[in-house]
Structure 1
Amino acid sequence: MKALLQINTVVNTGSTGRIAEDIGNMAMENGWKSYIAYGRYGNSSNSNVIKIGSKLDNYIHVLFTRLFDKHGFASKRATRKFIRQIEKIKPDIIHLHNIHGYYLNIKILFDYLASVSIPIVWTLHDCWAYTGHCTHYTYSNCQKWRTHCNSCPEIHSYPKSLRDNSYKNFDLKRILFNSISNLTLVSVSKWLEKDVKQSFLMKNHICQIYNGVDLQQFKPVPSKHILSKLGIENKFVILGVASTWSNRKGLCDFMDLSKLLQPDEVILLVGLSNSQMKNLPIGIIGISRTENIEELVELYNAAAVFVNPTWEDNFPTTNLEALACGTPVITYATGGSIEAIDKDTGWIVEPGDIKGIYDIIFRLKEKHWDKYTYDCRERALKYFNKHDRFAEYFNMYSSLLNVHGNK
């Protein structure tokens, strides 16, 4: 029986954790064993799970990052122990997801991966793999990753530090991440694929596979109950969803948008912290982050439009969830966010164009909604069914095993 080992910061939670869980489920449906190794936290999983390191290891790695900007170069003991577990499992495929997150030593891990003949797949959910520090660079409009990172403008962003080691990190990552001959890189958007092909990773095999969502869960459903519960059953609902809200995700933009609202319009933001909810202006209703999928589906369905004013993103799953529920999307022209929609299912505005967002909302109130519901759902069915997208990974595994002569 073939075995798949996936490695990610979390397991069965958040977008990357759920993606790894779904890929593991697909592998098991095809008769494989599935293992998911994780470093931080998560929910129960259908796969065999392996916890990498302890909370103390995580805290030490955080401190190492804060003081020296050497994210990914702590957790030596935890990584060596994990490699011994890999050797016992003897996986046929190793699939990396987010290997940043204060839990792995990338030098120890990649020295090991370069020494074995196991095919390695690495899905890039962000840009950390080819920068000297940051996971995203569009907010600061930094292009140093194209040549050589230094004097990082994102040093105080995740994984934030008190000093700048981006120049040395860039050199070390360039050597380590190009040391594996049997590495396949997967980008989650065409935008990210384009940038990876212009980075120091360009000589690797690079392909693109979109993320998908569960279309049996995310679908058009009645939503009057939740509207009534929130006291907005007669309102035109503008929805925003994020796991963590910040100005990069567009929180300030929603604040500005609320100033333009009419009395029959309301903004509903999901994923706010308690402190953020205490400071909301009139016109915005806040809800804390929820793992309740049924409630989230109701919220998507309750909305007349989903607005994603993200200033940097690779391929936000929230856009896909909204489309699957039949809700059109307004997004900024940033990263891969625009790739989820077409002219029949959404609108694109330039970052910071709050009036442009509201002009679309104003026109939307005069439209016939059934058309958007149908077109959005059809686009999700055609392009973003998770079973179709994750089948691409399984087909890739089979091809790689054939190429490498594994039996």
Structure 2
Amino acid sequence: MKILHLNTYAGNGGAGKACLRLSRALQKQGIDSEVAVNFLFNSNPEVHNLSNGFFTKWLTAAGIISERFLNKLFVKRLPIPFSIPLWGKNLSKNQLLSNTDIIHIHWINHAFLRPADVAKLVKLNKPLVWTFHDSNAFTGGCHVRYTCNHYQVECGNCPVLKNSNPSDLSHRIWKKKSTAYGDVDFTIVAPSRWMANSVLESKMLKSKHIINIPNTLDTEIFKPRSRTESREKLGIAPDKFILMSGFMPSRKDLHKGTSYLIEALEIFAREHHIELEKVELIIFGNRDTKDMPDFPVKTTFLGTISEEEQLAICYSAADVFMAPSLEDNLPYTVMESLACGTPVVGFTTGGIPDMVQHQVNGYLAEYRSSADLAAGISWVFKQSERELLRSNARNSVMENFSGERVAEQHIRLYKTLLNEHISA
């Protein structure tokens, strides 16, 4: 059984990580699994580059840049990612795809596979699997929906577009997707129950075969390490209560919920009578500190951390990981933190409840409630048996998201699809 995974980039973003991690997990189970990407920033022998050669590479880059330019023309200046599928690749005659048994699509935006390009894959007569890492596949362009439910009908009147009306750009994109995907038989993998339910609510794809299989990670890298040694390596005080969080671009950032974390820290310090000098917030993933808000506790910015070993050290150094995201499919930061034995406090939204068990391996706060987020911080702070909490965090990942377990679920799906294909 040979599987080929398609993703726009290699290892960039959550989808890029998920794609590579799944392929590696499948390989460990004896499956012939490979990854092909549309654009490769740096040489990587682990993946096939579909934009080989100087001319092809820069033509692809031009398509990606053009899409971003178009977004500025049509999309409001909001922190909501939106894709206009204007350019793409026809892979129906590509030898890599011809020589595989199953084609597994992941994140395919940024001038890779337009709806019409996905439809052309039918010509290869292969079972097609598509993992939805965000909502774009069934919306008129947006990747993050928040409270918008227009995708349940046919999009239009898009709150993200500058020119919004019933037949606006989002409606036209939605119609193109609906037409293209209507006759394509593919299986949707939803990494979270939230994503699976979202697809079932969509008019476009609710009739497709949908299965809930989570993403995975390497639990030999993301594992508990000595907290004392981890803090020494990062230069963090050994006796402080350390909160850690991921990329926080600004107070106005909607997706990551920065403002709620700030308010929660203020409430935590004020109402729970905590001495601020005993608390420190560590943030990784920030590109710079120019637009950073003022946090009410001492805050250290570690910058972008690309090495997974170093990232595991960061998680292990913390007492709690904060996930104030307002919408996330199955955020890797949460899974990685739990795998390293660090409990998580986050909102009850997206795929976070698939990973965090309330007051078992973390705390699920009421959605958009800074007060309850503060209560979660306080709950972890007051825990007398933190080692049990850390053990629960690690065990929850090993039981549900380990490479072996997730690979087995995919293998069962692949075998089913191949058997149905042969007998059809």
Same fold? TM cut 0.5 = yes
Residue aligning to 2:130: 122
Output the CA distance in 1 between the equivalents of 2:348 and 2:97.
46
Output the CA distance in 1 between the equivalents of 2:101 and 2:126.
6
Residue aligning to 2:78: none
CA contact (8 A) 1:74 1:104 kept: no
Residue aligning to 1:269: 283
Q: Does residue 325 of structure 2 align to residue 310 of structure 1?
A: yes
CA contact (8 A) 1:217 1:297 kept: yes
**2:111 partner letter:** Y
Deviation at 1:387, TM superposition (A): 2.4
Q: Does residue 166 of structure 2 align to residue 136 of structure 1?
A: no
Deviation at 1:27, TM superposition (A): 4.5
Residue aligning to 2:335: 320
- TM-score normalised by structure 1 residue count: 0.88
Which range is displaced more, 371-380 or 40-49? 40-49
Deviation at 1:19, TM superposition (A): 2.1
Output the CA distance in 2 between the equivalents of 1:334 and 1:365.
23
**Any gaps of 5 or more consecutive residues in structure 1?**
157-162
Output the CA distance in 2 between the equivalents of 1:211 and 1:72.
26
Output the CA distance in 2 between the equivalents of 1:11 and 1:393.
20
Deviations 1:182-210 (A, max 9, x none): x1111011111112112120111111101
Residue aligning to 1:37: 37
**1:380 partner letter:** V
CA contact (8 A) 2:362 2:380 kept: no
Residue aligning to 1:253: 260
CA contact (8 A) 2:2 2:31 kept: no
- TM-score normalised by structure 2 residue count: 0.84
Output the CA distance in 1 between the equivalents of 2:380 and 2:27.
44
Deviation at 1:83, TM superposition (A): 4.0
Output the CA distance in 2 between the equivalents of 1:205 and 1:402.
16
Q: Does residue 87 of structure 2 align to residue 75 of structure 1?
A: yes
Which range is displaced more, 329-338 or 273-282? 273-282
Deviation at 1:12, TM superposition (A): 2.7
Which range is displaced more, 109-118 or 212-221? 109-118
Q: How does 1:128-207 map to 2 (within 5 A)?
A: 128-138=136-146, 141-155=147-161, 164-181=168-185, 183-199=186-202, 200-207=204-211
Output the CA distance in 2 between the equivalents of 1:97 and 1:310.
22
Deviation at 1:62, TM superposition (A): 2.5
Residue aligning to 2:354: 339
**Any gaps of 5 or more consecutive residues in structure 2?**
52-56, 76-81, 270-274
Residue aligning to 2:24: 25
CA contact (8 A) 1:239 1:300 kept: yes
CA contact (8 A) 1:11 1:43 kept: no
**1:32 partner letter:** D
Deviations 1:266-313 (A, max 9, x none): 111111121447654352222212112222111111111111011111
Output the CA distance in 2 between the equivalents of 1:42 and 1:338.
35
Deviation at 1:31, TM superposition (A): 5.1
Residue aligning to 1:376: 393
**2:15 partner letter:** T
Deviation at 1:168, TM superposition (A): 0.9
Output the CA distance in 2 between the equivalents of 1:94 and 1:247.
34
Output the CA distance in 2 between the equivalents of 1:315 and 1:148.
26
Residue aligning to 2:315: 300
Output the CA distance in 2 between the equivalents of 1:27 and 1:146.
34
Query: What number of residue pairs does the alignment pair up?
Result: 392
Percent identity of equivalent pairs:
22
Residue aligning to 2:223: 219
**2:50 partner letter:** I
Deviations 1:6-59 (A, max 9, x none): 111211343222222233334545252524223364662424343375322222
Q: Does residue 235 of structure 2 align to residue 230 of structure 1?
A: yes
Output the CA distance in 2 between the equivalents of 1:351 and 1:191.
14
